[in-house]
């Protein structure tokens, strides 16, 4: 019962290569079916996201052969020179696979440390594989454990809590001021890359109302259509300032677009309800003095970048705690794996020795004379008890071998000693 | 005076506080739930500690200063737990629990000496309980306003550190504080009315001009003022929170100096 993994990610391969080995959901289903029907793997699961393509499997026989076969399959499927592919692939076996998938689910293997999206992607890929029957007892157990690790890590550590992108930091700050954004509105001035990201986050978080203003009315209409927002004429921006609780500005202009006086008047008109201003423009779009106004919170791109830097190091500081959780689950999985092995060995031994016992008794009792049927029955019963007693006490003693590697080696020795492997179909 | 109930309550409160504090630094759902459960069980034991105390005293638990402190702590803890359930946030816990623990510990410093039980009737009991409930609600509003001011300061300085992300949103803090103060004002007003009716029955007049009565009216006016101003243009936000923080001085003054030195009728409540 070995597990293998062959894959590449953002660390081992450039995006051009990753693109070529990406699996669509349908491709993953077909590849899983093919690998199983060809007998390369007994269980399969393919995880393909924009940052990784990974093939998990449980080979029926030797993992060496399966791994080589998988490499050939990978190269031929995506029509890539094996030499090129080889250097970008990583290969893991057994506990290495378990630890890797737990790290992936925990977000430790992600480009953005601790990001949450990957857990959903693992869940979806596993769910799909489960539905089309590609997984079996081993991969099911492993992926369920991985999902649990992902959940635990996110609820017990801070690896994913603090925002680590400028846009998201802005939106999280807004939430710390206003609470849920579903009753609040935002005005977007101009449209830079970060500004667009802010809008995406705001929409994700269910902002109630979005207003868009741009120097070019055409561009404003285009953005409004894309973001499901309302257009505000550039000349009306000052009047419109009364409504939004949040203003995001990324206009390229030499002078400030929003003067302190404009904001002061807007605040008076809106009864001093808190206003959060994000100035993404360089040079700055909003007069810095506006931050002195009561209930006005003004952040520029540098302020947000500083928060992001701080949060990134805070996330990295959480890695040891995440690793501890991962190791705990790796040990749990290994215990389960060893338990399964022990049960399998016990069952095989019972079957094999039971058969030998019956043959032996039949032979000896046939030779014996002067034994009544009741005595025969008693002897048979005793022999059965003796065998069961020896089997259970000796084999389960293996459960107490501390080191897993030693335990598995012992199990292998038992198999060899009793010739159990030859008996297997 | 440490009885089994008191010791068990104190231990649970301390464990709850430690768990709330740890949860604030590194959020952990299980730990947070554990903190809330410890607090809930602690409140249950605290209730029995109060009953036990009342039995020894041969009177209601707030017959002396210590018992009234115990009731204060109990109501504060219970109010906080209600707030936590309502708003599904635990980050205020570490700031409320110390009050509960200190008040509860203070209330058990002295041994209980049996009192002759005074039959004062349910109106009196309602008067006292409601007024102590009001103090607890004001204490909670105070804690929430202090956190609001802290958050506002971090945000204005553009240095939102680790703690900042853990606390509830400022809007939520503001609403929690207002609802707490509202509970306090309603409880205080009703409690005072009960007190006046009771005084009238006993002495034939409603108003005695007692310093406790005066400070209570002032407290009512100031907290009602906070509730009105918190929605006004010039005050909403940090200024209202500062006013709410300031108002708590009345509560402390009323509960300590007025109770002990100034009032003729109100000794411990």
Contact A274 B170 (CB under 8 A): yes
User: How confident is the prediction for chain A on average, in pLDDT?
Assistant: 88
Contact A307 B160 (CB under 8 A): yes
Q: Nearest-CA distance from A158 to chain B in Å?
A: 6
Q: What share of chain A in percent tops pLDDT 70?
A: 97
Residue A296 CB partners (closer than 8 Å, separation 6+): A263, A267, A274, A275, A277, A290
Q: Locate the chain A residue with the closest alpha carbon to B154.
A: A297
Using the predicted structure, report yes or no on whether residue A186 has a pLDDT greater than 90.
yes
Q: Look up residue B46 and give its two tokens.
A: 């605290």
Contact B237 A158 (CB under 8 A): no
**pLDDT (0 to 100) of residue A425:** 39
Q: Average pLDDT of A195-217?
A: 90
Q: Locate the chain A residue with the closest alpha carbon to B234.
A: A272
Q: Average pLDDT of A147-167?
A: 87
Q: Look up residue B192 and give its two tokens.
A: 């005072």
Contact B27 A158 (CB under 8 A): yes
Residue A103 CB partners (closer than 8 Å, separation 6+): A109, A326
**pLDDT (0 to 100) of residue B259:** 73
Residue A34: is it exposed, middle or buried by C-beta count within 10 angstroms (0-12/13-18/19+)?
middle
What confidence tens digit (pLDDT) does each residue in B161-200 have? 777 888 889 998 998 899 999 999 999 999 999 988 888 8
Helix/strand/coil (H, E, C) string of chain A? Answer: CCCEEEEEECCCCCHHHHHHCCCCHHHHHHHHHHHHHCCCCCEEEEEEECCEEEEEEECCCCHHHHHHHHHHHHHHHHCCCHHHHHHHCEEEECHHHHHHHHHHHHCCCCCCCCCCHHHHHHHHHHHHHHHCCCCCHHHHHHHHHHHHHHHHHHHHCCCCCCCCCHHHHHHHHHHHHHCCHHHCEEEEEECCHHHHHHHHHHHHCCCCEEEEECCCHHHHHHHHHHHCCEECCHHHHHHHCCCCCEEEEECCCCCCCECHHHHHHHHHHCCCCCEEEEECCCCCCECHHHHHCCCEEEEEHHHHHHHHHHHHHHHHCCHHHHHHHHHHHHHHHHHHHHHHHHHHHHHHHHHHHHHHHHHHHHHHHHHCCCCCHHHHHHHHHHHHHHHHHHHHHHHHHHHHCCCHHHHHHHHHHHHHHCCHHHHCC
**pLDDT (0 to 100) of residue B154:** 93
Dihedral sign computed on CA atoms, order A85, A89, A91, A97: negative
Please report residues of B whose CB lies closer than 8 A to that of A271.
233, 236
What confidence tens digit (pLDDT) does each residue in A373-418 have? 888 889 889 988 998 888 887 777 777 666 666 777 777 788 888 8
Using the predicted structure, report yes or no on whether residue A140 has a pLDDT greater than 90.
yes
**pLDDT (0 to 100) of residue A275:** 96
| ipTM associated with this complex | 0.83
Q: What share of chain B in percent tops pLDDT 90?
A: 42
Using the predicted structure, report yes or no on whether residue A235 has a pLDDT greater than 70.
yes
Q: Mean pLDDT lowest for which of A144-158, A376-390, B32-46, B250-264?
A: B250-264
Q: Locate the chain B residue with the closest alpha carbon to A271.
A: B233
Dihedral sign computed on CA atoms, order B107, B109, B112, B113: negative
- Best of B158, B168, B169 to disrupt the A interface (most A CBs within 10 Å) is B158
Phi-psi region of A271 (alpha: psi -120 to 50; beta: other; left: phi over 0): left
Contact B162 A178 (CB under 8 A): no
Strands A4-9 and A90-93: antiparallel
Residue A97: is it exposed, middle or buried by C-beta count within 10 angstroms (0-12/13-18/19+)?
buried
Please report residues of A whose CB lies closer than 8 A to that of B86.
none
**pLDDT (0 to 100) of residue B226:** 95
Q: Average pLDDT of B92-105?
A: 91
Please report residues of B whose CB lies closer than 8 A to that of A273.
236
Q: Are A317 and A157 in contact (CB under 8 A)?
A: no
Using the predicted structure, report yes or no on whether residue B257 has a pLDDT greater than 90.
no
Nearest beta carbon to residue A295 from set B158, B167, B237: B237
Q: Locate the chain B residue with the closest alpha carbon to A268.
A: B233
Please report residues of A whose CB lies closer than 8 A to that of B170.
176-178, 274
Dihedral sign computed on CA atoms, order A180, A185, A190, A196: positive
Nearest beta carbon to residue A274 from set B30, B165, B237: B237
- The neighbour count for residue A107, using CB atoms within 10 Å, is 23
Q: Nearest-CA distance from B242 to chain A in Å?
A: 14
Nearest beta carbon to residue A176 from set B27, B164, B239: B164
Q: Where are the alpha helices (DSSP H) in chain B?
A: 4-25, 29-57, 65-87, 93-106, 121-156, 170-203, 211-229, 238-253
Q: Locate the chain A residue with the closest alpha carbon to B156.
A: A297
Q: Nearest-CA distance from A49 to chain B in Å?
A: 29
**pLDDT (0 to 100) of residue A424:** 44
Contact A176 B165 (CB under 8 A): yes
Using the predicted structure, report yes or no on whether residue B143 has a pLDDT greater than 70.
yes
Q: Are A335 and A107 in contact (CB under 8 A)?
A: no
Using the predicted structure, report yes or no on whether residue A144 has a pLDDT greater than 80.
yes
Contact B169 A271 (CB under 8 A): no
What confidence tens digit (pLDDT) does each residue in A80-95 have? 888 888 889 999 998 9
The reported pTM is: 0.73
Q: Nearest-CA distance from A267 to chain B in Å?
A: 9
Please report residues of B whose CB lies closer than 8 A to that of A293.
none
Q: Look up residue B159 and give its two tokens.
A: 């240095």
The residues of A assigned a catalytic role are 50
**pLDDT (0 to 100) of residue B125:** 82
Please report residues of B whose CB lies closer than 8 A to that of A266.
none
Q: Look up residue A9 and give its two tokens.
A: 């990610």
d(CA B23, CA B91): 8
Residue B257 CB partners (closer than 8 Å, separation 6+): none
**pLDDT (0 to 100) of residue B123:** 83
- The neighbour count for residue A389, using CB atoms within 10 Å, is 10
Q: Look up residue B88 and give its two tokens.
A: 């599904």
Nearest beta carbon to residue B165 from set A161, A178, A179: A161
Q: Nearest-CA distance from A315 to chain B in Å?
A: 11
**pLDDT (0 to 100) of residue B86:** 82
Name all contacts of B52-60 with Cβ < 8 Å and 24+ positions apart.
B52/B3, B52/B5, B53/B112, B56/B112, B56/B114, B57/B112, B57/B114, B57/B115, B58/B114, B58/B115, B58/B116, B58/B117, B59/B115, B59/B116, B59/B117, B59/B118, B60/B125, B60/B128
What confidence tens digit (pLDDT) does each residue in A40-69 have? 999 999 999 888 999 999 998 777 888 988
Using the predicted structure, report yes or no on whether residue A253 has a pLDDT greater than 80.
yes
The residue with greater pLDDT, A259 or A162, is A259
Q: Nearest-CA distance from B78 to chain A in Å?
A: 25
Q: Locate the chain A residue with the closest alpha carbon to B155.
A: A297
Q: Mean pLDDT lowest for which of A205-219, A344-358, B130-144, B236-250?
A: A344-358
Residues of B with CB under 8 A from a CB of A: 26-30, 151, 155-156, 158, 160-162, 164-165, 167-172, 233-234, 236-239
Dihedral sign computed on CA atoms, order A15, A16, A19, A21: negative
Nearest beta carbon to residue B171 from set A172, A177, A321: A177
Radius of gyration of chain A (CA): 32
Q: Nearest-CA distance from A276 to chain B in Å?
A: 10
Q: Locate the chain B residue with the closest alpha carbon to A179.
A: B169
**pLDDT (0 to 100) of residue B1:** 56
Using the predicted structure, report yes or no on whether residue A292 has a pLDDT greater than 90.
yes
What confidence tens digit (pLDDT) does each residue in B51-81 have? 888 787 766 777 677 788 888 899 999 999 9
**pLDDT (0 to 100) of residue A403:** 65
**pLDDT (0 to 100) of residue A423:** 45
Per-residue b/e over B3-42, b at no fewer than 16 CB within 10 Å?
eebbebbbebbebbbbbbbbbbeebbeebbebbbebbbbb
Strands A52-58 and A43-49: antiparallel
What confidence tens digit (pLDDT) does each residue in A173-183 have? 999 999 889 99
Residues of A with CB under 8 A from a CB of B: 155-158, 161-162, 172-173, 175-180, 268, 271-274, 291, 294-295, 297, 299, 303, 306-307, 310, 314, 321
């Amino acid at each position: 019962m070995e597990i293998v993994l062959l894959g590449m990610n953002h660390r081992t391969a450039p995006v051009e290569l990753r693109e070529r080995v990406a699996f669509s959901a349908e491709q993953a289903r077909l590849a899983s079916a093919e690998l199983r029907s060809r007998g390369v793997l007994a269980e399969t699961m393919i995880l393909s996201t924009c940052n990784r393509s990974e093939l998990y499997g449980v080979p029926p026989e030797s993992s060496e052969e399966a791994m080589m076969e998988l490499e050939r399959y990978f190269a031929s499927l995506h029509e890539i020179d094996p030499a090129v592919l080889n250097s970008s692939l990583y290969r893991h076996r057994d506990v290495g696979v378990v630890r890797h998938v737990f790290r992936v689910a925990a977000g430790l293997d992600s480009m953005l440390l601790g990001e949450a999206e990957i857990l959903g992607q693992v869940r979806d890929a596993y769910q799909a594989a489960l539905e089309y029957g590609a997984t079996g007892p081993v991969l099911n157990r492993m992926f369920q454990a991985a999902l649990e690790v992902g959940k635990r890590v996110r609820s017990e550590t801070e690896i994913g809590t603090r925002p680590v992108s400028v846009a998201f930091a802005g939106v999280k700050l807004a939430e710390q001021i206003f609470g849920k954004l579903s009753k609040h509105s935002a005005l977007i001035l101009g449209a830079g890359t970060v500004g667009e990201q802010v809008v995406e986050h705001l929409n994700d978080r269910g902002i109630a109302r979005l207003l868009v203003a741009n120097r070019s009315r055409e561009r404003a209409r285009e953005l409004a259509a894309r973001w499901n927002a309302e257009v505000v004429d550039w000349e009306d921006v000052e009047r419109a300032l009364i409504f939004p609780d949040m203003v995001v500005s990324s206009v390229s202009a030499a002078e400030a677009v929003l003067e302190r006086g404009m904001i002061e008047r807007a605040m008076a008109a809106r009864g001093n309800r808190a206003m959060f201003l994000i100035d993404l423009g360089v040079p700055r779009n909003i007069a810095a003095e506006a931050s002195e106004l009561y209930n006005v919170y003004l952040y520029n791109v540098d302020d947000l970048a500083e928060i992001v830097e701080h949060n990134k190091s805070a996330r990295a500081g959480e890695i040891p705690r995440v690793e501890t959780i991962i190791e705990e689950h790796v040990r749990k999985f290994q215990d389960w794996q060893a338990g399964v092995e022990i049960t399998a060995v016990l069952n095989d031994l019972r079957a094999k020795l039971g058969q030998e016992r019956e043959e032996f008794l039949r032979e000896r009792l046939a030779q014996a004379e002067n034994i009544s049927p009741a005595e025969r029955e008693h002897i048979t019963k005793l022999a059965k008890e003796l065998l069961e007693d020896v089997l259970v006490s000796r084999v389960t003693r293996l459960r107490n071998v501390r080191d897993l590697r030693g335990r598995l080696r012992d199990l292998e020795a038992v198999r060899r000693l009793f010739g159990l492997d030859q008996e297997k179909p | 005076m440490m009885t089994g109930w008191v010791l068990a309550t104190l231990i649970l409160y301390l464990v709850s506080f430690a768990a709330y504090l740890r949860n604030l630094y590194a959020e952990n759902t299980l730990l947070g739930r554990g903190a809330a459960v410890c607090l809930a069980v602690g409140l249950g034991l605290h209730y029995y500690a109060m009953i036990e105390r009342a039995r020894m005293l041969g009177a209601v638990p707030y017959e002396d200063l210590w018992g009234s402190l115990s009731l204060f702590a109990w109501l504060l803890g219970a109010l906080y737990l209600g707030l936590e359930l309502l708003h599904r946030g635990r980050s205020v816990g570490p700031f409320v629990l110390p009050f509960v623990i200190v008040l509860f510990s203070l209330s058990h410093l002295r041994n209980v000496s049996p009192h002759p039980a005074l039959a004062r009737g349910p109106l009196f009991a309602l008067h006292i309980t409601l007024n102590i409930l009001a103090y607890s609600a004001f204490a909670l509003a105070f804690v929430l306003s202090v956190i609001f001011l802290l958050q506002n300061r971090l945000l204005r300085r553009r240095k939102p550190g680790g703690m900042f992300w853990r606390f509830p949103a400022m809007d939520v803090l503001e609403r929690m504080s207002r609802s707490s103060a509202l509970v306090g004002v309603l409880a205080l007003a009703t409690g005072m009315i009960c007190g006046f009716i009771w005084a009238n029955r006993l002495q034939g007049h409603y108003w005695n001009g007692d310093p406790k009565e005066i400070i209570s009216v002032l407290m009512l006016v100031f907290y009602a003022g906070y509730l009105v101003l918190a929605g006004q243009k010039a005050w909403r936000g940090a200024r209202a929170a500062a006013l709410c923080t300031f108002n708590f001085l009345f509560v402390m003054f009323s509960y300590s100096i007025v109770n002990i030195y100034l009032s003729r009728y109100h000794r411990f409540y």
